[in-house]
Amino acid sequence: MSADHLLTGRVLIWDGNPLIEGPEAARIEEGWGVLIAEGTVAAIGPAAALREAAPEVPETTYGRDLIAPGFVDAHVHYPQTRIIASWGKRLIDWLNSYTFPEEMRFGDPAYAREVAGEYLDLVAAHGTTTVASYCTSHPESAEAFFEAAAARNMRVFAGKTCMDRNAPEELCDDAVSAYDDSAALIARWHGTGRAGYVITPRFSPTSSPEQLEALGALWAEHPDCLMQTHLSEQTDEIDWVKGLYPEARDYLDTYERYGLLGERGLYGHAIHLEEREIDRLAESGASLVHCPTSNTFIGSGLFDMGGLSARGIPVGLATDTGGGSSFSMLRTMAAAYEIGQLRGRPLHAAELLWLATEGSARALHAEGLIGRLTPGAEADIAVLDLASTAAIAQRAAQAEDAWEEVFATIMMGDDRALRAVWVGGEKRV
């Protein structure tokens, strides 16, 4: 068998969706391996069988470390890298105090390139191999991000953020330039290498009906693109939307009436949903993205993972850098567990890992490419040391099964838990 490398240890396998089918839909196989060839997973299975099939291939042995898919972060704002963990206010105040002043700097291509590279290196060190990012309203910020990702061979989804009102003049485009800039970026980057373009209205309060209509038309012309925006993050935000769109039935309707509701739509936060909105999201096949550290940091509320996933709505998981307070998907999984506890639906370690890998991949319509270790998938891999600190090691030593070990790392782990990170079949960390 032609291959480049063999990784052996404990391997995480998905047999189904643990959120729907229960934790039994996931397995951790001892003494297994992942065979990599030309940037993809060539085979998985018992290590002895893989060694026999490819006896000349170099092997890296990870022992009792967990070989997992690279983490997939389904909603980030890379331009907010340098304002992460700024003292928290309500959403609108936070945007005006921190976000907008920092985003004004991204009209400078050199600054955008610097932060893009910095951001991607930071998240890779935490085991994240794919992100879906908002850029700023400057096309240069999107160019910088795609270029930085290409240089690192990372699979990314991103788009120029569009907004033409209720923001500083220096950050506002208009309906025509939002359409034209986005169309040009689609032509240049969508499907180029490992990049996918995402049509990106920031949210209804910062886009006029004319701009939303233009972006809805653009999405209709490029239906294979994703579309990302924000939905029902805070109650005062919802009141603002009602004042700006008095004719709308609810927040989701401000997107739906302009052609911005669909199967490839990504709606971040989605905390305070009305019944009609839930019905329409389920009917359309749209995906929601849970941003737990952001929701607690900015005081937004508690996402209903149990109720929404039971409706069959795909859900991804995200750091929401920089409203989210960590670059780490381990910390994000821990926050999702804590919010689940407060909602009466604590999540098993298998469910948390699913959300951070295959769940987010499905939300991004990238299942089969990323999020699972299966033949033909891209070889993006996070290897977790399940005893990375003294505190974690002493708890793991008492674990009755592998899932208890994993859970301790989810709750207490950080970048020290990353034994290795492989991106496109190459070891990065």
Mean confidence (pLDDT) of the chain: 96
pLDDT at residue 323, rounded to an integer: 85
In one letter, which amino acid is 45?
G
Residue 422 has pLDDT above 90, yes or no: yes
pLDDT at residue 298, rounded to an integer: 86
Rounded average pLDDT over 43-54: 96
Residue 414 has pLDDT above 90, yes or no: yes
Residue 104 has pLDDT above 60, yes or no: yes
Rounded average pLDDT over 365-378: 97
pLDDT at residue 152, rounded to an integer: 98
In one letter, which amino acid is 314?
P
Burial of 13 (0-12, 13-18, 19+ CB in 10 A): middle
Alpha-carbon distance of 359 to 23, in angstroms, equals 14
Residue 90 has pLDDT above 70, yes or no: no
Across the beta sheet with 26-37, what order do the strands follow? Answer: 40-46, 26-37, 5-14, 59-69, 381-384, 418-423, 426-427
Rounded average pLDDT over 357-376: 97
**Lookup: tokens for 145:** 């991000």
pLDDT tens-digit series, residues 162-181: 999 999 999 999 999 999 99
pLDDT at residue 95, rounded to an integer: 77
pLDDT band at 1 (very low <50, low <70, confident <90, very high): low
Alpha-carbon distance of 382 to 173, in angstroms, equals 39
Rounded average pLDDT over 16-23: 96
Residue 45, phi-psi category: left (phi > 0), alpha (psi -120 to 50), beta (remainder): left
The bridge status of strand 265-269 relative to strand 226-231 is: parallel
Closest by CA to 147, choosing from 124, 114, 182, is 114
The bridge status of strand 155-159 relative to strand 161-162 is: unpaired
Q: Are 91 and 306 in contact (CB under 8 A)?
A: no
Residues 6+ apart with CB under 8 A from 51: 6, 33, 59
Alpha-carbon distance of 378 to 60, in angstroms, equals 18
Could you identify the residue written with the tokens 């359409």? 179
Q: Are 223 and 229 in contact (CB under 8 A)?
A: no
pLDDT band at 98 (very low <50, low <70, confident <90, very high): confident
Alpha-carbon distance of 101 to 335, in angstroms, equals 28
Residue 324, phi-psi category: left (phi > 0), alpha (psi -120 to 50), beta (remainder): beta
Could you identify the residue written with the tokens 């999540």? 347
Q: Are 86 and 73 in contact (CB under 8 A)?
A: no
In one letter, which amino acid is 347?
L
Closest by CA to 329, choosing from 413, 390, 264, is 413
**Lookup: tokens for 419:** 């034994």
In one letter, which amino acid is 254?
T
Residues 6+ apart with CB under 8 A from 264: 223, 224, 225, 226, 227, 286, 365
**Lookup: tokens for 406:** 């994993």
Q: Are 407 and 415 in contact (CB under 8 A)?
A: no
Residue 96 has pLDDT above 80, yes or no: no
Alpha-carbon distance of 316 to 333, in angstroms, equals 11
pLDDT at residue 218, rounded to an integer: 98
Q: Are 34 and 373 in contact (CB under 8 A)?
A: yes
pLDDT tens-digit series, residues 211-270: 999 999 999 999 999 999 999 999 999 999 999 999 999 999 999 999 999 999 999 999
pLDDT at residue 99, rounded to an integer: 85
pLDDT at residue 339, rounded to an integer: 97
Could you identify the residue written with the tokens 């989701």? 252
pLDDT at residue 88, rounded to an integer: 64
The bridge status of strand 418-423 relative to strand 381-384 is: antiparallel
What one-character DSSP code corresponds to residue 346? Answer: P
Burial of 142 (0-12, 13-18, 19+ CB in 10 A): buried
Could you identify the residue written with the tokens 């739906």? 256
CB-side exposure of 318: number of CA atoms within 13 Å?
A: 35
What one-character DSSP code corresponds to residue 158? Answer: E
Rounded average pLDDT over 114-140: 98
pTM of the model: 0.97
Domains in the chain: ranges and CATH? 5-70+372-427 (2.30.40.10), 71-327 (3.20.20.140)
Alpha-carbon distance of 302 to 269, in angstroms, equals 9
Alpha-carbon distance of 204 to 35, in angstroms, equals 46
How many percent of the chain have pLDDT more than 70? 98
Residue 89 has pLDDT above 70, yes or no: no
